[in-house]
Amino acid sequence: MHDMNLLIIGAAGMLGRRLGEQLANEGALGGKEIMRLALSDVVAPTVPTAWKGAASADIADLSAPGVAARLVAQRPDVIFHLAAVVSGEAEQDFDKGYRINLDGTRELFEAIRQVGDDYCPRVVFSSSIAVFGAPFPTEVADDFHTTPMTSYGTQKAMGELLLADYTRRGHFDGVGLRLPTVCIRPGKPNLAASGFFSNILREPIHGSTAVLPVKDTVRHWFASPRTAISYLLHAATIDGTRIGPRRTLSMPGLSATVAEQIDALRRVVGADAVKLIRQEPDPIIAGIVANWPEAFDAARAIELGFAAETSFDDIIQVYLDDDFEQANRSRIKEPA
């Protein structure tokens, strides 16, 4: 049993940053001590303050020539591939979406293959429920056909196929996770089409107005950031033979309508927060979201030990417990 060498690509993003912090706090993964933590992103990632071992933090574009080879030169035992152009931005910028979400993924997988010498790391790939396209059954099973209706979903579906093929060929041991929409995301709104699901809760919690661009009957699939991190950690250590040849799993989540989100906000935070939500229909966002599934049969993942929240009240409480105080401090420091 040797010590662990880990690489997080997309380490400056919300999930990448939290993953690094949790790994630093725990100091071990799967019962093995972590000796080196390598972080990479297109903006500067930050080495967690709790981390005491060897570390690197690189500003790098995974799709640029030579970058992937440099990142895997240290032969990390586990690679978390979280880097992506989010859904709305991938739809707006066709070239950028394919360059980052597809070409960058292929560059990484090829760089691992080129190391050779029996190098076979665990690769945890963050995919998306956007790989599926309408019309949907009431619950989407793991083996439902992947016919995405967005460029982002198409790019992620291609990544899933590459992950399965490179794993089949023995170049690495890949596990793909179709993550639910992570809610409530801390920080500022991003360009994800799903961003409003967090905005309509986070902003009113902090006393700010929020825009709802879709009808409150829209139903979607959710998990908290805390749960998403638990998925990544579990995927890093699970026995790959238990997964079988279908290497990507739809993660458990909570199916809820926007109205149910708002009702939970009212129960947990209060009616004054709900009054800060303003409905402004956006046909582009509504069109994208209409092509996303609403609920999943995640039996495979549940059997393998993945678990999610069971109420939206719990998801809001996770934000209050994990992010509220720090977010409030950040908002106070921001210039008016």
Cis, bond preceding 184 (omega within 30 deg of 0)? yes
Return d(Cα 326, Cα 316) in angstroms, integer: 15
Contact 217, 112 (CB under 8 A): no
Structure tokens that stand for 105 in this block: 């993924």
Which runs of consecutive H residues, i.e. helices, occur in the chain?
Answer: 14-26, 67-72, 87-92, 94-97, 104-115, 151-168, 195-205, 225-237, 240-243, 258-268, 271-274, 283-290, 299-303, 312-322, 324-333
Q: What is the DSSP letter of 99?
A: I
* 3-state class (DSSP) for residue 334: coil
Return d(Cα 27, Cα 48) in angstroms, integer: 11
Return d(Cα 332, Cα 260) in angstroms, integer: 30
Reply yes or no on whether 152 is catalytic.
Answer: yes
Distance of CA 328 to the CA centre of its chain: 24
Q: Active-site residue among 98, 119, 152, 319? A: 152
Looking at this protein, which amino acid is placed at residue 86?
A: V
**Which active-site residues does the annotation give?**
152
